[in-house]
Structure 1
């Protein structure tokens, strides 16, 4: 098995205006581009065995800025949750929908109108990451480190799986724009090494010797939000 760096895309124009981007071709704003560029310094020197990305342009732009000259492999399994009719709508407006409290408290039961279920999103994202991790480990050894660029809710679902949590607990996890979350998979169990990290990453190479306003402050940022301190 190997170690995966789950990189969330930088802030987008939709994050900045408080809209749910979903699978629309929303691009990074200036803040998001600066965030992605700063990731380059954090990743510098890391021997990445593979770089995989969601097909959406905000993730591809993030990889382009964070890893200049690297062309990621596109994997549909890492794409954003299909929010259906919710896409493009303001979060303040969505917070008034009857489905909103279910998204917050019982997401495993949610299927978005004309969209995807959160359970399906979780299942295909976890399957994609675990398949890539097995492949990278088999080809490059258990010390291998690789990167997957994806979306807030997708990363949260992958973390919940790694922690052995039910999907209904995933709203307790945060993945800010341009943050890195690290999971080290092993034959017995995954280890959650870092969550929502914005600092240096050099120590992640294994040694062979061993934003947005919510309807309620308790509500999770559906779609991942704009992050804090922006």
Structure 2
């Protein structure tokens, strides 16, 4: 099955200022963010990416443009990969928001959180997960089971997709980290998803080209086979 590389955008001016950016306009990468994405571009350079999609927000479009360099690859906009709409919280300092009663809910019971004037956290996570899974199926149909594809999005979106892949309840997604310009790799199969990388900012990614055949990521030869169980117990 295809492998999706989830690329979080590089560090932004809002990250530096400690502001909850959400859908604010004019949030761009800072100098550190540009350097982070340049490093990510080097790591992606040798990979045969079959497709690329991005959140419509400027920081992601800026990130994926740099990460892809001069590849002849059309980047599609995927609105479902956009950041949460934080409503009245958007543009406020994180240090101020930490004093709000809802902040604790967001941290410990996010499935119950709806941002004032904004999105339900659970609904946002669900539409992002659905978009990634549906896009992965489309890549499989168009490019075959060995395809690699890239999706540029936001930290909480990456965490939600990883939680789903690991079979975790959404309330546990805050236990997952996705740093700026990090790469997370997931391969969906008929049996289960495999998390191949998480919050990766430095490793060689070339082995992902052959991830489908990796002995550390076995596939049963037929439905109900035990190869995965044996491999997972090594």
Q: TM-score, normalised by structure 1?
A: 0.89
Match of 2:78 among 65, 75, 78: 75
Please provide the CA RMSD for this pair: 1.1
The answer as to whether partners of 2:51 and 2:74 remain within 8 angstroms in 1 is no
Partner in structure 2 of residue 115 of structure 1: 118
Report what 1:8 is aligned to: 8
Alpha-carbon distance in structure 2 between the residues aligned to 1:186 and 1:142: 10
Verify: 1:145 aligned to 2:127, yes or no. Answer: no
Structure 1 equivalent of residue 36 of structure 2:
35
Moved over 3 A (4+): 207-210
Question: Do the aligned partners of 1:53 and 1:78 also contact (CA within 8 Å) in 2?
Answer: yes
Gaps of 5+ in 2: 215-234
Whole-angstrom CA distance in 1 between matches of 2:124 and 2:24: 16
CA contact (8 A) 1:64 1:71 kept: no
Q: 2:209 aligns with which of 205, 210, 215?
A: 205
The Cα of 1:206 is off from its aligned counterpart by 2.0
Indicate how the Cα distance of structure 1 residues 100 and 163 shifts in structure 2: closer, same or farther if over 3 A, else same. same
Equivalent position of 1:194 in the other structure: 197
- Corresponding residue for residue 56 of structure 2: 55
Q: How big is each residue's C-alpha offset from its partner over 1:97-139, in whole Å with a ceiling of 9 and x where there is no partner?
A: 0101000000000000000001111110001000110010111
* 1:163-203 CA-partner distances (Å, limit 9, x unpaired): 00000000000000000001011011100111000122111
> CA 1:209–1:32 in 2, change beyond 3 Å: closer, same or farther?
closer
In structure 2, how many angstroms separate the alpha carbons of the residues matched to 1:94 and 1:47? Answer: 42
Deviations 1:19-78 (A, max 9, x none): 111011211111111111111110011010100000000000001111113441000010
Change (3 A) 1:177 1:207: closer
Question: SS at the partner of 2:207?
Answer: helix
Report the secondary structure of 1:14's partner residue: helix
Across the two proteins, how many residue pairs are aligned to each other?
Answer: 210
Q: Where in structure 1 are there 5+ consecutive unaligned residues? A: 211-230
Q: Which has the larger radius of gyration?
A: 2
